Chain A
Amino acid sequence: MSASSAASRPAAMLGLSIREVSQALRDGRVSATELCRKCINQIQRTRYLNAFITITEETAMEQAQRTDSRLRTGKKGIPFSVKDNFCMENIETPCASGMLKGYVPPFNATVVQKLLDQGAVLVGKTNLVEFAMGAGSTDGVFGPVRNPWSYTSLYREQSTEDPDSDWAITGGSSGGSAAAVASLSSFLALGSDTGGSTRNPGSLCGVVALKPTYGLLSRHGLIPLVNSMDVPGIMTRSVHDAATVLRILQGRDERDSTTVQAPSTPPRLPEHFDIRDICVGIPKEYHAPGLSKDTLAQWSRVADMFEQAGARVQEVSLPHTQHSIVCYHVLCCCEVASNMARFDGLEYGHCSKVDSSTDAMYATTRHEVFNSVVRRRILSGNYFLLKSNYERYFVKAQQMRRLIAEDFKNVFRTGIDVLLTPTTLSDAARYSDFIQEDNRTRSAQEDVFTQPVNMAGLPAVTVPTALSHRGLPIGLQLIGQTLQDWKLLTVAQWMEQKVNFPMIHLHGESNERELNRSVRERTHTIGS
């Protein structure tokens, strides 16, 4: 790839971290308008990734211009994108479902509002799976999201196939947000994390993805999946940036009764701290079947890295973790069945033409637009919640959930500061391979390392570590103690500085034109 190619030039500015680009804005090396334009152009250039559902070009440019005219400092002018399950005033929020097609929320989600208040510039709403149910970002109504790393020279040179048939998934459900940050279209993206939906695509797309402690960030305006596990997630290209954003977003919100007061947080992560004070736990149960050689190798490498630097590294046990996925399945379905009950076509969203009776209208409205994944979860959830089943499924799953949380507490009580685990079993699957299995199976496979954390409400972050032999990112996950997000990020930053993860270089422009053409034809290829 030629260094002067169009794809690499924007990287000069777009590849910076938030900290760096903020400095550039303050120094006047770039204006907010120019920066916003660059991001919009990059989004357009990478349309083939299908990362965005809505590009808010007009409002973004207006906002950037206003920022420039005010010349104020802060986080002003940083382009960001938001997963399409966060409500934004006057912006259609279909949540990748036919049910909410055309639905325009009348209010902003708290976390989005906090970014806007800081002067950040929203460039678009990103793609996901329908109602964030799934780990692939492959089955939303707007089609699958493509992993930017499958469009780098390294991947393409190994592939003998057409770029439109051989590409990797982003993971999910916040696949669009991960792709947006990875493809340098945004400096920051918001995702949501219920069972790993931020960390999983973060890991597969080579970005830093933080799932904060449950309750630290407001869920007001986040279209819920599992209320008791959902957390807004933060995706950036550096741990430092994730910490910066966390500091802005965290804290109690009177509109979300489950939020807590944020612990006092210093203005920035410490640049230097003594890793020898840290004790890293390696949960033995995470040596799961299906763990790829590459991922295992990275896990060992980083564990060694900690040890060599003087940290205490110790094997620990989380005996109940193995039951997490099946319990998650029960609890998730129950809350989904409940949360989805509001979609009846009366107040908003899709409404069936069938109106022979109210019941018939409800039934057809819901049948017409919910995909099979959503329908299956609703049916299962209602089954689990039946009076005769409640004790056997819901209560059992809740009891197991407490044991899983206890496991973590017990480990941390022994002096462990963070746990180091893989984020996913392997690097990103090829789309054509991935869709061989159904959503339920995939979710069970993909969430295995990330999901127990949601059961316990703990903070966790995935840090891009290395590229696999296929040229796709591998990330490792660090899990921290409740409300110790800052300490977690401090360790994550140390690790980030040591692993030296490479910068993305998308394949040359000639190839890109070809891609654009093939994307236009995509509907035919996929539909056939």
Chain B
Amino acid sequence: AARSSPADPPAPPRATGRCHQLFISWALLSSLPQMVGVVGLEIHAQIQSTSKLFSGSHVRFLAPPNSLVSHFDASLPGTLPVLNRRCVEAAVLTGLALNCTINRKSLFDRKHYFYADMPAGYQITQQRVPIAVNGMLVYSYFEGRRRNQVVTKSVKIKQIQLEQDSGKSLHDDERSQTLIDLNRAGVGLMELVMEPEMCCGEEAAAAVRELQLILQALGTCQANMAEGQLRVDANVSVHRPGEPLGVRTEVKNINSVRHLAKAIDYEIQRQMEVLQSAGKVLNETRAFDSKSGNTIPMRDKEGLQDYRFMPEPNLPPLFVYESEASVPAGVDPAQVVVIDRLSGQLPELPSVKRTRLVETYGILQEHSFTLVNEDGLIDYFENVVQTTKAEPRKVIGWVIKELMGNLNSQNLNVSQSPISPCALAELISLVESGHISSSTAKQVFQEMWKAPEKTVGQIVKEQDLWMINDKEELQKICKRIVDSHPEEVQIIRGGNKKVLNKLMGEVQRETKGRTDPVQIRAILEKMVS
């Protein structure tokens, strides 16, 4: 559903007309420690599964409205929920990857509220005993002027609970109608609660980014925020360290990691300003407006909601077993969720992947982040490394600078690259073997990008870019340059060796970069000495 964005969100309250007061409070404040932001996250991750959490309806994005709705999804009386084992396994896998304790027995509850896209009048969730608790997510981000200092932090995961997604309401303001699509109703969600242990937008964004990578590696959620597979609400407050937490607001309507950081930082700033102007932060829900970068109060629907929780009577407790041996007699182990079996299925997680990349290839830590962040980039990199004899540290430069530079500027992903890992390997090999110079190679790379049908060899040949390796010819070229630059030669001979670089530049220009700088320097040095 397209959300109509409000034209002009109200400006955040400012302290206009209250200068005197403001001055006094500033005076008071100056002796106190600075206020800091406190951020917790509530994340809804749509479980990647073929069918819904409690019914056999398929799960598909962009299917015709109401085409994926079973009798249960439409809450026909007499229908009962039947738990989808695949969704439980997804939650357990996610819990294991996030270092959670998996509850051997968890329970389902009903959370009641009337909403048009929730046909039963309640959502089945896990309020009392969720499937996983007490986890931890380790995440990193970069600091420093060049943003190459890795900062690693962790945030506690309070719990992961299984619950149903709602349908979608589409408001037709013109005809004042609301249309309901129940395709999404009953899709499995994992609600992850991250404790308020982050302090700013950047931290929250880094945590969510890491979570996305983990979920994608596990295959338990596609985690695309724009498509709503991952929905992140931020609980934001400010306080002075050592004092109790301030009143928090909940910020919703955030549909990218970048917006998450912006929304949180805006909200922290806003709350600080409210408090500094002796105002009060209200416990409210606010929406992020991506156009203005502001958060604005959402219409509070019903004031204080009492969800009237009660146990879901149609679902027995959910049991998860440690190992096949602990499955009780009479229960088919193939039909239940066994932790050992799932632990064995855990893929290499992003943090492990990064360490492996750094250790195996000797690349920089920040490069390992880039490799892991881009879907398919590790494969691409490793492919190139395996096909060429070049040092991985040389390959990484090509992959991160040239390849990613081009992909990013054209908004392509790795799989859409016109240059295959093989072709790049070939190009790098030519540099390594001294057949082309590295500056030429960059030129060839751009040509390859434009004409992917041509081989590296074809391009080099057509444009006459092969390296000049013939000693006599190089001598001749150098002689010409030395002869035509008597003044510079004079200065060099006078002791200023730096000017040799100028001569080298001239040689490069003349040969269109087709010479090896080391070789040329040696020749030139001999000539001028």
Contact B306 A255 (CB under 8 A): no
How long is the Cα–Cα vector from A518 to B313 in the complex, in angstroms? 45
Distance to closest chain A CB from B26 (angstroms): 42
Known: A222-B78, A255-B82. A359 touches B114 (CB 8 A): yes
Contact B310 A362 (CB under 8 A): no
Contact B75 A107 (CB under 8 A): no
Return the chain A residue nearest B304 by Cβ.
A387
Contact B310 A258 (CB under 8 A): no
Return the chain B residue nearest A381 by Cβ.
B308
Contact A390 B309 (CB under 8 A): yes
- List chain B residues, Cβ under 8 A from A221: 78-79
- List chain A residues, Cβ under 8 A from B78: 86-87, 105, 109, 219-224
Known: A224-B78, A257-B316, A338-B310. 19 other contacts (CB 8 A): A87-B76, A220-B80, A226-B313, A255-B80, A255-B82, A257-B82, A258-B315, A335-B313, A340-B121, A341-B112, A341-B122, A342-B75, A344-B121, A346-B119, A347-B75, A347-B119, A385-B112, A387-B308, A390-B309
How long is the Cα–Cα vector from A433 to B79 in the complex, in angstroms? 38
How long is the Cα–Cα vector from A257 to B116 in the complex, in angstroms? 27
Distance to closest chain B CB from A375 (angstroms): 15
How long is the Cα–Cα vector from A465 to B306 in the complex, in angstroms? 50
How long is the Cα–Cα vector from A346 to B169 in the complex, in angstroms? 13
Q: How large is the interface on A (under 10, 10 to 19, 20 to 34, 35 or more residues)?
A: 35 or more
Chain A interface (Cβ within 8 Å of chain B)?
Answer: 86-87, 95, 100, 105-107, 109, 219-224, 226-228, 254-258, 334-335, 337-344, 346-348, 358-359, 362, 382, 385-387, 390, 394
- List chain A residues, Cβ under 8 A from B116: 344, 346, 358
Interface centre among B74, B76, B81, B308 (most CB of A within 10 A): B308
The reply on B406 being an interface residue by CB < 8 A is no
Which one of B71, B80, B112 lies within 8 Å of A219 (CB-CB)? B80
- Name the 4 nearest CB pairs between A and B, nearest first: A341-B121, A385-B308, A227-B313, A228-B313
The reply on B178 being an interface residue by CB < 8 A is yes
Distance to closest chain A CB from B141 (angstroms): 39
- List chain A residues, Cβ under 8 A from B316: 257-258
How long is the Cα–Cα vector from A358 to B116 in the complex, in angstroms? 8
- List chain A residues, Cβ under 8 A from B83: 257
Return the chain B residue nearest A341 by Cβ.
B121
Contact A382 B119 (CB under 8 A): no
Known: A255-B80, A257-B314, A341-B112. A385 touches B122 (CB 8 A): no
Could you tell me which residues of chain B, from 61 to 78, have a CB within 8 Å of some CB in chain A? 71, 74-78
Contact B114 A344 (CB under 8 A): yes
Contact B308 A347 (CB under 8 A): no
- List chain A residues, Cβ under 8 A from B81: 257
Distance to closest chain B CB from A101 (angstroms): 13
How long is the Cα–Cα vector from A338 to B121 in the complex, in angstroms? 8
How long is the Cα–Cα vector from A226 to B308 in the complex, in angstroms? 16
Q: How large is the interface on B (under 10, 10 to 19, 20 to 34, 35 or more residues)?
A: 20 to 34
Which one of A258, A343, A386 lies within 8 Å of B308 (CB-CB)? A386
List, sorted by A's number, 30 A–B pairs whose CB atoms are closer than 8 Å. A105-B76, A105-B78, A219-B80, A220-B79, A224-B77, A227-B313, A227-B314, A228-B313, A255-B82, A257-B314, A257-B316, A258-B314, A335-B310, A337-B308, A338-B308, A339-B77, A341-B112, A342-B75, A342-B121, A344-B119, A346-B180, A347-B74, A347-B75, A347-B76, A347-B119, A358-B178, A385-B308, A387-B307, A387-B308, A394-B310
Distance to closest chain B CB from A238 (angstroms): 29
How long is the Cα–Cα vector from A337 to B122 in the complex, in angstroms? 11
Return the chain A residue nearest B330 by Cβ.
A261
- List chain A residues, Cβ under 8 A from B76: 87, 105-107, 347-348
Distance to closest chain A CB from B76 (angstroms): 7
- List chain A residues, Cβ under 8 A from B79: 220-221
How long is the Cα–Cα vector from A257 to B124 in the complex, in angstroms? 15
- List chain A residues, Cβ under 8 A from B309: 385, 387, 390
Residue pairs across A and B with CB atoms within 8 Å: the count is 101
- List chain B residues, Cβ under 8 A from A227: 313-314
The reply on B120 being an interface residue by CB < 8 A is yes
Return the chain A residue nearest B119 by Cβ.
A347
How long is the Cα–Cα vector from A362 to B119 in the complex, in angstroms? 12
How long is the Cα–Cα vector from A257 to B112 in the complex, in angstroms? 22
The reply on B286 being an interface residue by CB < 8 A is no
The reply on B110 being an interface residue by CB < 8 A is yes
Distance to closest chain A CB from B228 (angstroms): 22
How long is the Cα–Cα vector from A394 to B313 in the complex, in angstroms? 13
Distance to closest chain A CB from B126 (angstroms): 15
Residue-wise, chain B 169-184 has the 8 Å CB interface mask toward A (1 for contact) of: 0000000001010000
Residue-wise, chain B 299-322 has the 8 Å CB interface mask toward A (1 for contact) of: 000000011111001111000000
Distance to closest chain A CB from B475 (angstroms): 87
Could you tell me which residues of chain B, from 424 to 445, have a CB within 8 Å of some CB in chain A? none
Interface centre among A257, A335, A337, A390 (most CB of B within 10 A): A257
Distance to closest chain A CB from B19 (angstroms): 45
How long is the Cα–Cα vector from A254 to B335 in the complex, in angstroms? 12
Return the chain B residue nearest A103 by Cβ.
B77
How long is the Cα–Cα vector from A375 to B79 in the complex, in angstroms? 22
- List chain A residues, Cβ under 8 A from B122: 338, 341
Distance to closest chain B CB from A453 (angstroms): 17
Contact B80 A257 (CB under 8 A): yes
Known: A338-B122, A390-B309, A394-B310. A106 touches B71 (CB 8 A): yes
- List chain A residues, Cβ under 8 A from B306: 386-387
Residue-wise, chain B 51-66 has the 8 Å CB interface mask toward A (1 for contact) of: 0000000000000000
How long is the Cα–Cα vector from A357 to B119 in the complex, in angstroms? 17
How long is the Cα–Cα vector from A219 to B313 in the complex, in angstroms? 12
Contact B75 A385 (CB under 8 A): no
Distance to closest chain B CB from A134 (angstroms): 18
Known: A254-B82, A255-B82, A257-B83. A100 touches B77 (CB 8 A): yes
- List chain B residues, Cβ under 8 A from A220: 78-80
Return the chain B residue nearest A261 by Cβ.
B330
Interface centre among B121, B180, B315 (most CB of A within 10 A): B121
Interface centre among A334, A338, A358, A362 (most CB of B within 10 A): A338
- List chain B residues, Cβ under 8 A from A87: 76-78
Return the chain B residue nearest A227 by Cβ.
B313
Distance to closest chain A CB from B127 (angstroms): 11
Return the chain A residue nearest B54 by Cβ.
A257
How long is the Cα–Cα vector from A105 to B72 in the complex, in angstroms? 12
Contact A334 B114 (CB under 8 A): no
Contact A334 B310 (CB under 8 A): yes
How long is the Cα–Cα vector from A109 to B82 in the complex, in angstroms? 15
Return the chain A residue nearest B113 by Cβ.
A341
Interface centre among A337, A341, A394 (most CB of B within 10 A): A341
Contact A338 B110 (CB under 8 A): yes
Contact B112 A338 (CB under 8 A): yes
Contact B120 A342 (CB under 8 A): yes
Distance to closest chain B CB from A221 (angstroms): 4
- List chain B residues, Cβ under 8 A from A219: 78, 80
Return the chain B residue nearest A346 by Cβ.
B116
How long is the Cα–Cα vector from A486 to B194 in the complex, in angstroms? 53
Distance to closest chain B CB from A308 (angstroms): 42
How long is the Cα–Cα vector from A221 to B114 in the complex, in angstroms? 24
- List chain A residues, Cβ under 8 A from B119: 342, 344, 346-347
Contact A341 B82 (CB under 8 A): no
Return the chain A residue nearest B180 by Cβ.
A346
Distance to closest chain B CB from A361 (angstroms): 9
Known: A227-B313, A344-B121. A362 touches B80 (CB 8 A): no
- List chain B residues, Cβ under 8 A from A256: 80, 314
How long is the Cα–Cα vector from A471 to B114 in the complex, in angstroms? 51
Contact A385 B121 (CB under 8 A): no
Residue-wise, chain B 82-114 has the 8 Å CB interface mask toward A (1 for contact) of: 110000000000000000000000000010101
Distance to closest chain B CB from A223 (angstroms): 4
- List chain B residues, Cβ under 8 A from A359: 114
Distance to closest chain B CB from A371 (angstroms): 17
- List chain A residues, Cβ under 8 A from B74: 347-348
